[in-house]
Structure 1
């Protein structure tokens, strides 16, 4: 999600072998090339077929996911995945499902799903990826370890950003993220670590940029803005940074135009009872954070 720095506590979720397997993906694709010096070695069809085949086998799944990520990052794969994306998505979902794979595997698979959505682009295929992956990503957000939760939150933000057809679909994903951010609002989500909290805030605010001209009930935004403002005083720098970005996006994207439109009339209104409920608390928060 761009500028967020990953907290050290996130990497502590892996042992050294897990960390190495995540961070050393750059050689996977070249290793595959060297191992198959045949007339088909330069065929991406061949490479993708071998990756998909290897995803069926638990012992080769992590290696296959790394090779697949290298292919995504080094090539334009849409022509080769146009008729394969459902099969590939199913394999990646199996790596995320509870108890099906290791945290390393789940992190790699969630990253692959995000890249798959980017590759197919906006449209019916991306929407299908979002719909099919959402239930499994939701469960992983609840039950995964910190590293998995962070990878899944990033994946959820990407597939929703690309695949959602309307604000209602985007808002559904944002509500899952908000359950992490404001864990007291959900009995099924435990209090997040600082790294997970920062990831959730960044993912949530990323999707918030798509709100556009949708219906906005400013009364409903008072509580979220107030809670985000409390995070500006969090002990963890990454949380404070993510919260600052989120608050800025809220004021610029959600209520900025409406404030500028209604500000003069409401400010000059002497009767406080005639002012909307949101006016006083939001103006108080605005003054507090000096926006």
Structure 2
């Protein structure tokens, strides 16, 4: 089977234009204004985030939820490096508090905020602290077996903070094991009984695969490889197509890493190694048999006909994914994809890159374009080098949620801005008064 001449393309065009229709706030226009427009906006945004941070101390859960949602939108619309530099520890521990005591919605918002905090901070001491301080409360919250949205956000957060902050393989493997316990509750201590939903399994497999892209296959123990490969093979037989696709991509990644031989493991023979060759030979035969089974499953899923009530979009997505997997298993060609981000091409040429890109797109949502343009950590990860450009006036605008809080008459932000504008008016009046006084004296 030869390589297909037409490579898979992503038709969606992503650009950085602000889709929110927001009118500019009224300002005092004077040639003698002390603070420029961009500085005023920066002041507004920093004060806005400070106000949101203050709201996280409020007792009312709905107030905290609104503040977290506003912080997420602000982190999506602009990379808040200065705020992170000054206030990251405070924001982190307020979010951890929300994970421990908040509603399912608040937990989901807090988990997403922590993930954005790690992506904005990038690798280093801050992201390491985020991982170390967050992993235990996240692990504890995952044992609750609560709403899917809450559990999914916690899993995605765990994947992101480990992806950014883990410095040792053991840290990554620990997070992967926590994820594995969500899919296999019997493996975890103090876990409430209950079979995970298909949506939960899909999230677990996607998050686990995302972290596997950062791991040297030889560092994982043999038992982990055996469990994962067997488990993903069984998932290919499930009814839910999203589960099949996630499992298929995970298996493709394992084959790409090239560590299926890990199945053979170390010799199980006697201490002097007399049975080493025989054991290894049997293991390799077993591996080839397993590979053949997976290949047949992939081939069948790449040509599956639609069943009653099945969504055509999901069916086409499954066929396309498993055709790519089949081509990779048979001929060794990884899928090549291309998409436009703000007019520039972002390409992937391996399963690892594709899995990373898709996971980051899902996590960042509306903030994906902004982060891909300006987040240097993601540039290094994905291999994307956009042209540098100056920030436009549109990009300086506050987002819609920021504007709403900004204009609220009772908000701390509005009071702070009023004080600033009053100060500007006084300075302007003083200067104008001095100017007219000089002119009057000269006339006299």
Shorter-chain TM-score above 0.5? yes
Residue among 177, 185, 195 paired with 2:187: 185
- Partners of 1:222 and 1:282 within 8 A in 2: no
Equivalents in 2 of 1:122, 1:142: separation in Å?
28
Normalised by the length of structure 1, the TM-score is 0.77
Q: Match for residue 292 of structure 2?
A: 287
- Partners of 1:126 and 1:159 within 8 A in 2: yes
1:233 aligns with 2:234: no
Q: CA deviation at 1:224?
A: 2.1
| CA distance 1:229–1:174, shift in 2 (3 Å) | same
- Partners of 2:261 and 2:284 within 8 A in 1: no
For the residue of structure 2 that corresponds to 1:233, the secondary structure is: coil
Q: CA deviation at 1:121?
A: 0.2
Q: Match for residue 170 of structure 1?
A: 172
Residue among 147, 150, 153 paired with 1:151: 153
Equivalents in 1 of 2:121, 2:278: separation in Å?
52
Q: CA deviation at 1:279?
A: 1.9
Structure 1 residues 9-44: Cα deviation after superposition (integer angstroms, max 9, x where no partner): xxxxxxxxxxxxxxxxx98xx79x96x989855423
1:108 aligns with 2:112: no
- Partners of 1:211 and 1:253 within 8 A in 2: no
Equivalents in 2 of 1:218, 1:226: separation in Å?
12
Larger Rg: 2
Residue among 88, 91, 111 paired with 1:88: 91
Q: How does 1:1-291 map to 2 (within 5 A)?
A: 42-43=42-43, 44-59=45-60, 60-97=63-100, 100-143=101-144, 144-186=146-188, 188=191, 190-212=194-216, 214-218=218-222, 220-255=224-259, 273-275=278-280, 278-290=283-295, 291=329
| CA distance 1:285–1:82, shift in 2 (3 Å) | same
Q: Which stretch of structure 1 is more off in the superposition, 236-245 or 208-217?
A: 208-217
- Partners of 1:65 and 1:108 within 8 A in 2: yes
| CA distance 1:119–1:257, shift in 2 (3 Å) | farther
| CA distance 1:228–1:37, shift in 2 (3 Å) | farther
- Which structure shows the higher helix fraction? 1
For the residue of structure 1 that corresponds to 2:219, the secondary structure is: coil
Structure 1 residues 72-115: Cα deviation after superposition (integer angstroms, max 9, x where no partner): 00112112211210100011111111xx2111111111110000
Normalised by the length of structure 2, the TM-score is 0.52
- Partners of 2:232 and 2:250 within 8 A in 1: yes
Give the CA RMSD over aligned residues: 2.7
- Partners of 2:159 and 2:211 within 8 A in 1: yes
- Partners of 2:108 and 2:150 within 8 A in 1: yes
Instruction: Report 1 or 2 for greater relative contact order, CA contacts < 8 Å, sequence distance ≥ 6.
Output: 2
| CA distance 1:220–1:139, shift in 2 (3 Å) | closer
| CA distance 1:195–1:220, shift in 2 (3 Å) | closer
Task: Extract unaligned runs of 5+ from structure 2.
Answer: 1-18, 29-34, 264-275, 296-328, 330-444
Q: Which stretch of structure 1 is more off in the superposition, 119-128 or 57-66?
A: 57-66
